[in-house]
Chain A
């Protein structure tokens, strides 16, 4: 997979002063453009890895209640953007499928926010992800990746996904750097406004 002649051949080293890793996750159905978006904005060639988790369980339809173990494996890809001398933003592209959420707490706790990438022809693919993000209390925006001329307005998308009015919903083209960058800027602006609002609220 990553055939390398030398371990020190790390693609692009971080600056010496890098000290603060930040996480943003892009979730969405298969083929919606997650990897494409990571690639568009990352300063390194996107990398991929996996996490596995073994859960002990008791078979419910097993009369003898024998312990068995299930191993969940989730693959994800990621890229990186150095923001300043200290901060490095890691951008994860992750499938929104069910088993992935078993690993959310282990992998993605501390994530600042999420981009839910949707294909309007397959909106139903994102319902589960939206539900889980709400459950985990992770702030998110919705970005529609347009493969073809969109058939619906963004307001119709908001309605179809039953999104609260404050959640940003935007169009994007995951293949272009500017558009993908705009998605991240929109998320960052939203997170900033949420934080500023709650900071004001807590000092009153």
Chain B
């Protein structure tokens, strides 16, 4: 189920998609950073960029974009760097994360607990 296109991914394709760059400041994006388009695709735009802009008319996580594009998470992050640099997307970074080994505030986790109980 999971294995498929990516396993046989042609390295040349990944090279082309990212313009040969490796890891810009992709670390700004978490897998669950939510991406929102700030504009519509324009003619001549790299097709992956255009696809991301269409996908993210409403907020969508980096990992969902990766799945829909069939590209590894790190490649998607590089594509997102381009779009962020040029102001074509905005990024909503996670707040409620465990950072430096510390859990979020109890109030936040209480909200998570109650929401799950009410599912």
- A-side interface residues toward B, CB under 8 Å? 1-2, 4, 6-8, 10, 13-16, 18-23, 35, 41, 47-53, 73, 75-78, 80-81, 83-84, 87-90, 106-108, 110-113, 137-139, 181, 184-185, 188-189, 191-192, 194-196, 198-199
B interface residues, how many (CB within 8 angstroms): 51
Count CB-based A-B contacts (< 8 Å). Answer: 175
Nearest first, the 3 closest Cβ-Cβ pairs linking A and B are A21-B32, A110-B97, A83-B115
What would be 26 A-B contacts, judged by CB atoms less than 8 Å apart? A10-B64, A22-B32, A47-B67, A48-B67, A49-B70, A50-B2, A50-B72, A51-B72, A51-B74, A73-B6, A75-B2, A80-B61, A83-B112, A106-B74, A110-B30, A110-B97, A111-B98, A138-B98, A184-B116, A185-B113, A188-B113, A191-B113, A192-B112, A192-B113, A195-B103, A199-B105
Q: Is A49 touching B58 in the complex (CB atoms < 8 A)?
A: no
Complex CA distance for A89 and B70, rounded to whole angstroms: 22
Complex CA distance for A90 and B64, rounded to whole angstroms: 10
Residues of chain B contacted by A139 (CB below 8 angstroms): 103
Question: Which one of A18, A84, A111, A185 contacts B111 once the chains associate, using CB atoms below 8 Å?
Answer: A84
Residues of chain B contacted by A184 (CB below 8 angstroms): 116
Complex CA distance for A82 and B41, rounded to whole angstroms: 28
Nearest A residue to B22 via CB reads: A54
Complex CA distance for A47 and B60, rounded to whole angstroms: 13
Query: Most chain-B CB neighbours within 10 Å: which of A6, A19, A111?
Result: A19
Nearest B residue to A197 via CB reads: B106
Looking at chain B's contact residues, the main secondary structure is mixed
* 8 Å CB interface, B52-107 against A: 54-55, 57-61, 63-64, 66-68, 70, 72-74, 92, 94-99, 101-106
Question: Which one of A4, A20, A76, A138 contacts B2 once the chains associate, using CB atoms below 8 Å?
Answer: A76
Q: Is A77 touching B59 in the complex (CB atoms < 8 A)?
A: no
Q: Is A20 touching B112 in the complex (CB atoms < 8 A)?
A: no
Minimal beta-carbon separation of A162 from chain B (angstroms):
22
Residues of chain B contacted by A73 (CB below 8 angstroms): 6-7, 72
B45 within 8 A of A: no
Q: Is B70 touching A2 in the complex (CB atoms < 8 A)?
A: yes
Residues of chain A contacted by B113 (CB below 8 angstroms): 185, 188-189, 191-192
Question: Which one of A48, A88, A185 contacts B117 once the chains associate, using CB atoms below 8 Å?
Answer: A185
Given A188-B113, A191-B103, A196-B109: 16 more A-B contacts, CB < 8 Å: A7-B55, A14-B60, A15-B58, A19-B34, A20-B94, A20-B95, A22-B94, A48-B2, A49-B63, A78-B63, A80-B64, A87-B111, A185-B116, A188-B116, A191-B109, A199-B106
Residues of chain A contacted by B61 (CB below 8 angstroms): 21, 80, 88, 90
Nearest B residue to A183 via CB reads: B116
Nearest B residue to A93 via CB reads: B2
